[in-house]
Amino acid sequence: MFSLDGKVAVITGAASGLGKATALRFARAGAKVVLADITDAKEVAVEAGGIYVKTDVSQEEEVKELMQAAVSEYGKLTTVVNNAGIGGQMGTLDSITREGIDEALDINFKGVLWGIKHAAPLIADGGSIMNTASYAGLFGTPTYGCYVASKAAIIAITKTAALELAPRGIRVNCICPGTADTPMAYIEGAEVELKLACMLQPLGRLVQPEEVAALYHFLASDDCAMVTGLAIPIDGGMTAGPGLGVIGPLYEKIFSESLDIEDFKAEG
Ligand SMILES: NC(=O)c1ccc[n+]([C@@H]2O[C@H](COP(=O)([O-])OP(=O)(O)OC[C@H]3O[C@@H](n4cnc5c(N)ncnc54)[C@H](O)[C@@H]3O)[C@@H](O)[C@H]2O)c1
């Protein structure tokens, strides 16, 4: 059940956080793993019994060589997790610079695009390509303009790739994590957003990397053979709607201030 025996998986962003947890879980489930990251992931690769290939996912040629390295080392490619990413420039839209948006699109979006493009000719028919988007690709998120644009683009390209690769039985899905307990969530200057995110996730806590790895494990397995083209939230219920942490204080305000509905009607 959910065995990954016989799979050869490339995971980008595998030095840390979600990618690291996914690489280790895939290895435990029987897959051969190729860990890619711009940061050294040799130790994680040893722990997973796999190999590390230094890769900057924003560089198309490096991503192409990464996919080829998997085939050279293990004789095939069956599974890809395009996961590497950055938080990038923060600030309201009036402060976005060309460098900020280019960086987010080059790493977060094009990193995934090159991953799909160069996996496609090599990956076995029936394979699984998975991409890490974010809840921020589904919602507007003030001050995260560069990030949300890059993540929404991942969702769009995932669906397009799923349609183009379906004739070969290759499935393409992306996941949309809520705020997860990884180094990315603790960037300086985003402490308030972190606490806010915990309150917005109705299950009331951060997503754990192992929980994301478990979802990727299912999507990678042959048990999931009819699932493609999806953007799957893993966010403690946040996309279901505003939870009690959000609604509760509003109810209190309504009862304590006896709001008049006339104030909310359009004038004229
Ligand atoms: N942590 C969260 O709250 C959260 C929420 C939603 C989505 N995500 C997404 O999950 C993915 C993984 O992030 P994480 O939370 O594990 O963060 P993380 O910072 O722990 O890991 C990100 C990894 O990506 C690598 N990386 C960065 N730029 C790269 C590049 N150009 N080429 C290759 N590797 C590069 C980093 O070296 C790092 O190891 C990202 O795409 C992120 O946007 C994270």
Residues 151, 134: contact at Cβ < 8 Å?
yes
15-28 pLDDT, tens digit per residue, is 999 999 999 999 99
DSSP line for the chain: ----TT-EEEEESTTSHHHHHHHHHHHHTT-EEEEEESS--HHHHHHHTSEEEE--TT-HHHHHHHHHHHHHHHS---EEEE--------B-GGG--HHHHHHHIIIIIHHHHHHHHHHTTTSPTT-EEEEE--GGGTS--TTBHHHHHHHHHHHHHHHHHHHHHGGGT-EEEEEEE-SBSSGGGG-TT-HHHHHHHHHHSTT-SPBPHHHHHHHHHHHHSGGGTT--S-EEEESTTGGG---HHHHHHHHHHHHHHT--GGGGSPP-
Q: Kindly state whether residue 182 falls inside one of the protein's structural domains.
A: yes
Query: Does residue 140 lie within any of the structural domains?
Result: yes
94-98, 197-201, 207-211: least confidently modelled range: 197-201
In a domain, 254, yes or no: no
212-239: pLDDT as tens digits? 999 999 999 999 999 999 999 999 999 9
Confidence of residue 199 (pLDDT cuts 50, 70, 90): confident
Could you tell which of 11, 22, 24, 37 is best to mutate to test the pocket of ligand 1, judged by most ligand atoms within 8 Å of the CB?
37
Is the minimum distance from the CB of 56 to ligand 1 under 6 angstroms? Answer: yes
Q: Based on the structure, what is the number of domains in the chain?
A: 1
- Given pLDDT bands bounded at 50, 70 and 90, which one contains residue 268? low
CATH number at residue 91: 3.40.50.720
88 C-beta closer than 6 A to ligand 1: no
- What's the CA gap between 179 and 182, in Å, rounded? 9
Ligand 1 contact via 184 beta carbon (within 6 Å): yes
- 242: which residues sit within 8 A by CB, 6+ positions away? 200
Residue 258 has pLDDT above 80, yes or no: no
Name the pTM for this structure.
Answer: 0.96
User: Is residue 213 in a domain?
Assistant: yes
pLDDT-derived band at 192, boundaries 50, 70, 90: confident
Ligand 1 pocket: which of 11, 59, 174, 182 to mutate (most atoms within 8 A of CB): 182
Ligand 1 pocket check for 180: Cβ under 6 Å: yes
Does residue 263 belong to any structural domain of this protein? no
Residue 97, ligand 1, Cβ within 6 A: no
Of 114, 225, 112, which Cα lies nearest the Cα of 175? 112
**Model confidence pLDDT, tens digit, residues 136-190:** 999 999 999 999 999 999 999 999 999 999 999 999 999 999 999 999 999 887 7
**Which tens digits make up the pLDDT trace of 71-118?**
999 999 999 999 999 999 999 999 999 999 999 999 999 999 999 999
Q: What is the pLDDT of residue 49?
A: 98
Q: Is residue 253 part of a domain?
A: no
* CA 261 to ligand 1 centroid distance, Å: 45
Q: Is residue 226 part of a domain?
A: yes
By residue range, what is the domain housing residue 149? Answer: 8-243
Residue 266 lies in a domain: no
Active site residues: 147
- Centroid of ligand 1 to alpha carbon of 102 (angstroms): 17
Report pLDDT for 120: 98
Query: What pLDDT sits at residue 267?
Result: 81
